[in-house]
A = this chain, B = another copy of it.
Amino acid sequence: MKPVKVGLLGLGTVGCGTINVLTRNGDEIARRAGRGIQVVAASARDLKRPRNCDLSAVRLCTDPFEVVNDPDVEIVVELIGGTKPARELVLAAIGQGKHVVTANKALIALHGNEIFTAAQEKGVTVAFEAAVAGGIPIIKAIREGLSGNRILWLAGIINGTGNFILTEMRDKGREFADVLAEAQRLGYAEADPTFDVEGIDAAHKLTILASIAFGIPLQFDKVYTEGITRITREDVGYAAELGYRIKHLGVARRTEQGIELRVHPTLIPQRRLIANVDGVMNAVLVKGDAVGPTLYYGAGAGADPTASAVVADLVDVVRALTSDPENRVPHLAFQADALSDIPVLPMDEVQTAFYLRLRVQDKPGVLADITRILGDQHISLEAVLQRETDEDAAEASIILLTHKVREGNMSKAISAIQQLETVIAPVIRIRLESLK
């Protein structure tokens, strides 16, 4: 089957990220979607700017309407941002019966009602997973994964810049203005940081989340919005002393009187998982009446994470275009005839770090014997802890953390260690993963 042809509006970081992901993972994506996905046309204001992606197979132009009108283009991906001319472009694409994928939160929050009405009339999809919380599939989780629930409330850290600033203020005792300046140097914050630090970006995203959670129209103008510019080092410190962390949250809650929609700095108990979401990361906590609390965590911005969501939307649209309508998503994610026969590794070949605990006679040379055996198996140590466990019996515990090693080598080492006369109990062995 021929690849689906896509037109990109905008070749900034996310546009290039999308091209890179589609190229790099082209085979896997086609195995999942049942068809390849190919960017055939793209528009950008300045075609001469050097870019971090391969555009050799892409027709380039400066007028985004040219891409929308290109008869070759089946799906339009809008990555320009802002509402003008994004709204006109998306409506024009819909008018031509083309599906649209967009990462544009302002567009959806402000003009989504109009856009979805137009899309419904034309029978096309406007997909917008990338508009909220970057690579986290939060739209899909709420819209499809929690569809059995009455959603009671949700609370999200949905602006990475703000979370980076608050995290630095807490960890390093710095003041707001100081960290903001650094975030701007690092490229986490825009030259004009208003949208991020005043909560407008978060309010756009909250508008969208509330709508899909509660089944209400998009109502950006009703969101109460308060920024983080007045948070001081002092308040961060007192909050910590009381057992809380300050996070910039978007909160949507169903009450008997109506829906609460609000973005503001918030103290939350530090033992909550979401209180420990730090730096530029995003997380959304959703409470449903059946499922209880659920949390979704990941990168909320950046070229590749946002492209991850854009491509997932593309795959959804392609699956709908292509498959048997009653069986759109393959059972095992990949098309049944596209499963792979990569072997499963025997456990002896697996590499992990290890925690070892040994009970030994507390006499000279014991540790030397053990480390020699480990060395023979190419096992190096990260940490050693020795504790006298029974003074009368002259027994001690030795705890070792190793660097990564083949399981087979570790098993051999443990067998040899177990032979030592000074080792007086079975060696305890627990694997260790840094999960980085």
Binding site for B on A (CB under 8 A): 17, 21-22, 24-25, 28-29, 31-33, 99, 112, 116-117, 119-120, 123-126, 129, 134-137, 140-150, 155, 211-219, 222, 224, 230-232, 234-235, 238-239, 241-242, 244, 246, 249, 251, 254-255, 257-262, 264-269, 272-274, 276-277, 285, 288-299, 304-305, 307-312, 314-316, 320-321, 324-334, 336, 338-345, 347, 349-350, 355, 357, 383, 385, 397, 399, 401, 428, 430-435
* Contact A267–B326 (Cβ < 8 Å): no
Tell me which of B99, B116, B267, B312 contacts A145 (CB under 8 A): B312
Q: From DSSP, what is the main secondary structure of chain A's interface residues?
A: mixed
Question: Known contacts A238-B357, A305-B290; is A345 also within 8 Å of B24 by CB?
Answer: no
CB distance B255 to A273 under 8 Å?
no
Residues in chain B near residue A428, CB distance under 8 A: 230, 232, 235
Contact A345 B144 (CB under 8 A): no
Name the one of B211, B332, B355 contacting A215, with C-beta atoms under 8 angstroms.
B332
> Measured between alpha carbons, how far is A235 from B277 in the docked complex, in Å?
28
Least distance between A156 CB and chain B CB atoms (Å)? 11
Bound together, the chains give a CA A149 to CA B22 distance in angstroms of 9
Q: A251-B433, A277-B273, A349-B257 are in contact. Are A25 and B308 (CB under 8 A)?
A: no
| Nearest CB in chain B to that of A315: its residue | B147
Which 10 pairs show the lowest CB-CB distances between chains A and B?
Answer: A137-B145, A148-B311, A325-B325, A135-B291, A215-B334, A294-B298, A291-B308, A212-B333, A295-B297, A143-B333
